[in-house]
Structure 1
Amino acid sequence: MPVDTKRVRGPEESQSPVLFLPPSTQSPAGRSGQGARGNADIRPVFTRCGLVSQAKGSSYLEAGNTKIICSVYGPREIERKDETDMKSGRLVCDFRLAPFSCRKRGAWIQGSEERDLSLALLESMQPGVCLHRYPRSQIEVNVMVLENDGSILAHAVTCASMALADAGIEMYDLVLGCSLRQDGDACLVDPDVLEEKGSWQSGYEENQGRVTLALLPNLGQVSGLQADGEMREDALPAAVRTCIDGCHKMYPVVQQAILRAVKKKAPPPEK
């Protein structure tokens, strides 16, 4: 059998690069690698719109080390005629994790976790879109997580809302997402991947869970709520209020990104 001399063959034995990562250090505020950020503060957010030229609308969001890009296509004709609605349009959400986004390399085939995230994203985005304005058509929202460092569903909701606004899709309001990690009597807003697992604080055996909320800030309505774990009855309403405050903190950043994209597409006339 001929040997491919142009290919560089790797070593027969190798070790995972995770073993060479520096150990996580705890900050005085109790957060790993977050400096002086408090438990009720969100991570620094960077947003941009209109990055994918082939899409009708697109957006990019970076929160800490979490990096998400979203593309919107449509409205266009529904491929399957039996799914056509004469009075309302159809919203399709596809949530994907890039194989290199996690510490453990994934596969290109969509798994059960990605399907659950796609359904949660659809349920959160659908109340904010004016689907009755697009009968007999569908709007496709494609979300790709480039790096997973926690709170991916919450930031995917915000990123998808920005992409829909960039595409000119009529909406009742923007949809913003925020997540929270509850550990005993303490809560942590916008946790990273280590903090989601509870490694930021230990010693509690009850009242632990995660809450992800989607909010329409101007209307003051919650469009999506997902809670995991075991939480006390008084802890869940407090967690929801904290997530609502986190969404309002992110709202000015999203507004500025959309306004910047609108001015770029249609600059004001010169006087």
Structure 2
Amino acid sequence: MKKMLLGILAFFLAAYVIVCVGIYFYQEKIIFYPEKLPENYTFKFEGDFEEITIKTQDNKHLNSVLFKAQNPKGVIFYLHGNGGSINGWGEVAQLYRSMNYDTFMLDYRGYGKSEDKINSKDQLFSDVESAYKELLKKYPENKIIILGYSVGTGLAAKLASMHNARLLILQAPYYSIEDEMSQKFSFLPKFLLKYNFETGEYLKNVESPVVIFHGDKDEVINYKASLKLKDNFKKDDSLIILKNQSHNGITDNLDYQNRMKLILDSDKK
């Protein structure tokens, strides 16, 4: 009987180790869901837009699109979520264009027409930094708003902690990826996580005003994560809870649109 119990224990231990190893080495496939597009793919967006190639520190080429308003007050650097590509995410630019803002959107490595693939947190940070520097060639920093959605919120917060943009806006953010992991996969050891974007820590070093939007019906990232982020707020920061809003579709929420119009109209800098 004892030998059988030891055998069962050994089986489950081995299975657990195999699961852990698989999660560590296939983490990118678990977190990121890119839509890959042919290099010669032609975007069919409404209005005026321009494709811009971003050269990374290791000489890879990333695709980005600048959606142009007629008389822009500034630009919104939109860091999208973990699925799709600019081809789908580009729709959101119409809202900001209607508010007289250009929208700059980057496809991460392996997304859309961008080269290579994601293989580390530092690589992602470096790529986003390269894109921001390209944006600084076209706009003064006090005209740049950094906006991150979902996975993109950690990247946006990190970028804002390193610069002095006009504003940082986060849609459906997490406190940290490790925090999300603890809630959903508490049986897994934390050292497996290669992509622990620590939004809460980054906000401590953000000098720009911060505005967070989160739906109270978010089924992916509970809005309590934003309540936790609020503990790191400065006097000019704010949290806006969107009633009956799920994780997807925040840009289409009328309350969000009205609040964003007020926020962007008040941008006098």
Q: Same fold (TM over 0.5)?
A: no
Structure with the larger helix share = 2
Greater relative contact order (Cα < 8 A, sep 6+):
1
By percentage of residues, which structure has more strand? 1
Q: TM-score, with normalisation over the residues of structure 1?
A: 0.30
